[in-house]
Amino acid sequence: MTYEHLRIALFGNIHQSKKNQYVAAIVNHLTHLGVQIAVEEQFATFITQQLGVVLPSFVPFCHHKGCQADMAISIGGDGTFLGTAAKLAGTGIPILGINTGHLGFLADVTPEHLAPALDALCRGDYVVEERSMLAVEKDGRPSDFHPYALNEVAVLKHDNSSLIEVSTYVNGLFLTDFLADGIILCTATGSTGYSLSVGGPIIVPGTGTLCLSAVAPHSLSVRPVVMRDDVEIRLKIRSRSGRFLLTADGKSESLPDSTTITLRKANVSTPVIKIDHKDFFGTLRDKLNWRGSNIKRQDSCAAGEE
């Protein structure tokens, strides 16, 4: 069976060649299936010049701002997936992640399952999960550097050992002044990322919540705050250096501490393709190496005894 009606755009990591060793296999398999392929322009230049991957002559470049595709494939780790999501934000194009990185909560198709996953993708044998994004504003204007974030937005100290103070308001109501290395606002998707490393909770996707966590707070009484995702959060920063870092899904820029940051749920989302869909708790067991097999055996024994 061929799939001439499908158009798939390929995105990938342009910095680590080892993570792109499967690109040729993906291109060849999709070509064999008759799929129309487009490759993001920077990625195409990288894989042809740095990796020596020969793309068929009919494969066009994909300019992500005007990308026309039925779906996209991100080749790399979760960081690459986040970059792909940022480029495709607002297009509605669903993304499949091929994991050549580490944990892979978003990019969860492993290389050994590459061929069957691509076959399932073309057959339409998958589910799509809509993941919320955060919208970032600076002084009331959308950020031109990183207007959206799928995982998290962080405000961090900048080139200084001193802590920063972040006055935090939720829907106009004062929450507290965080004295810390910084604070993180994450979505449910991002709760297993940076936020988790600073003691934030794991949030089940689809629960409609955000989490605000401090990075190395000065007070032991400071704890993560989980809230509904329809709130507006405003941050005012004070720093001895006069500057701070604003980061969104790993992209950073330096700003003067006179800048007010406003965060809210974006009016766009990221559709994530899941092959061989499993429940979120099964994913946690796999990715975080939690025990589960013994419990299953005990449950089975108990059921047998009954």
Task: Give how far Cα 211 sits from Cα of 25, 78, 226, 253, 291, Å.
Answer: 39, 20, 4, 22, 26
- pLDDT, averaged across the chain: 88
* CA nearest neighbour of 74 among 8, 148, 125, 10: 10
Residue 70 a catalytic site member: no
pLDDT digits (tens, 9 = 90+) for 95-126: 999 988 776 788 888 888 899 999 999 999 99
Interval 56-62 mean pLDDT:
75
pLDDT digits (tens, 9 = 90+) for 173-200: 999 999 999 999 999 999 999 999 999 9
Please state whether beta strands 71-76 and 7-12 pair in parallel, antiparallel, or not at all (unpaired).
parallel
pLDDT digits (tens, 9 = 90+) for 9-55: 999 988 877 767 788 889 889 999 999 999 988 888 888 888 788 78
pLDDT digits (tens, 9 = 90+) for 67-78: 889 999 999 989
- Reply yes or no on whether the pLDDT at 6 is more than 60: yes
Catalytic residue selected from 70, 78, 119, 177: 78
Distance CA 26, CA 263 (A): 38
Q: What is the structure's pLDDT at 180? A: 96
- Reply yes or no on whether the pLDDT at 305 is more than 50: no
- The residue with greater pLDDT, 143 or 265, is 265
- Reply yes or no on whether the pLDDT at 64 is more than 70: no
pLDDT digits (tens, 9 = 90+) for 243-260: 999 999 989 999 999 999
Q: What is the structure's pLDDT at 306? A: 44
pTM for the predicted model, two decimal places: 0.87
- Reply yes or no on whether the pLDDT at 293 is more than 70: no
Q: What is the structure's pLDDT at 298? A: 52
